Structure formats: structure tokens, C-alpha cells
Amino acid sequence: MAVGIFDSGLGGLTVLDAVEKRLPDVPFVYLGDNAHAPYGVRDADDVYELTTRGVERLWAAGCDLVILACNTASAAALRRMQESWVPRDKRVLGVFVPLIEALTEREWGDNSPPREVQVKHVALFATPATVSSRAFQRELAFRAIGVDVEAQSCGGVVDAIEEGDMILAEALVRSHVDALKRKMPNPQAAILGCTHYPLMQNIFQDALGPDVQVYSQPNLVAESLADYLTRRPEMLGEGTAKQFLTTGDPKRVSARATQFLRREITFEQA
């Protein structure tokens, strides 16, 4: 009954932490493609190849349902995977849609036409690859009209977080927020479009100011997954063991992950 969680590195652990708390009886298999992180500077074909390889590894671990806890993979690879690659008996879901549904105040599965929403000016902070894909704007357009989105490519933030250099990460976040506000001085809401960024949510909020509502993904994804599994319990795979897998150095990744979640995490070689 395992569910797979895939990320390019450690950022997806923020999603894993939230879904484990929401669904304590479900074993999760986490795969971090740390050997190839970060994805945010790669082109779409490269991201697609790496993501499909990771998803296949999770299927082999007994996970019929895989969550791409990586915005870059969700933006650059998911639609292509769903349209032409994922078998009928498997599911691969991304992390964009729950975020957009919260922003537009639409319930899960609401397929009504796009409509006016209260929030008109949205700041999007994401990796270069996610920004260039325009996937967020495309998914938003399916659900809302009249929303101005200003995207800020946050180069360097993921690398700093993965290396544990939170002082550098904070400096970069503040710099990227300043750059965004030069283009959109008064955003009403901000989207943290990378699963690493919740670790810096307080910094984003402080830099943006108290009047900006900051949307972060982990808890939203957890609620959406719980709802999905209630409706589709057959998608719980055959796997029963909780695992942490990495394409990188398990010892090094385990140490970083333990710092990330503030509890001991032991990775195995994927």
C-alpha cells in the first residue's frame, strides 16, 4: 500500500513530512535524485528523462501512485508523462494543482469554467526551469481569469539549501524578493513554487511584508493526497516498507536529510 514521493533532491522531504503526518498509516517510499540535483537549471528533455527514470524506480518498489514533489519535474515533465507514458494502472501526480486550487478557492476536481477570483496580483517564486515552462500560468488559466502573475527565477536558492548554507539562502531569498517587487510592487499573494522554499517561508514572508499571503505546498498537497486516496483507494500500491532512496551518496544525503527534518533519516542506494 506504499505511495512514492519523488524529488530531485531534498526539497520533497517537506512534502513527505506533511503527508506522513496526514496519513500515518500509509508507508511512503521517498526517492531523491541527488546525483543529478538541482533540476531547476536543466532543460525540459533532461528533466523528463531523469523524472521518468526515478518514477520507474518507485514503481519497482511497489508504488503504483507517485507524487512528483518537485515543481520543476511537475512543470517540465508531468503533462508529457501523463499524456504518453504513464500506464493505465499507474498514476503520477504533481504539486502545482493543489496550490492553484487553494489560491483560486476551488475544490478538488472542480472542472467548471475559469472565473474571476479575489486575488489579482500574484508573485511566483520558482526555479529557472519552472519559470521558463510557464506551467503555473497555464494551470492557473484553466481555473481563473484576470490574474496577473509576475514570476521570479530564484537562482542559487536550492543549491544553498542543499548545501546547508542557510545564511546564503536567506540573502538570496531577500535579493529575489527585492527583484520581484521592482516588477510588481504590491503583490496580494506569493506562491512558493519549489518544495525547498517552505524551509525559507518565514524569510519570504518577512521580505514580502505582512499583507502578502504566502502559499506553500506541503500541507496543501497532503490534504489533496488524502482526498485522492479516499476516492481512489485502489491506487495504494503493493509495497509495504517505508524507504528512503537516493541516487547520490547515502551517507551524505542521510546527514543532510536529518538536518532538514530534525529527525534521523537513513537513505539507501537507489
As a residue count, the chain comes to 270
Taking CA 104 as the corner, what is the angle to CA 220 and CA 15, rounded to the nearest 5 degrees? 15
Residue of 2, 135, 161, 194 marked active site: 194
From the list 19, 50, 70, 191, the catalytic residue is 70
Helix, strand and coil percent figures for the chain, each rounded to 5: 50, 15, 35
Distance CA 257, CA 94 (A): 22
Residue among 164, 188, 162, 160 at smallest CA distance from 175: 160
- C-beta atoms surrounding 225 within 10 Å: 24
Instruction: Please say whether the beta carbons of 1 and 27 come within 8 A.
Output: yes
| CA 41/CA 72 separation, integer angstroms | 9
Say whether 70 is catalytic: yes
The catalytic site residues sit at 70, 194
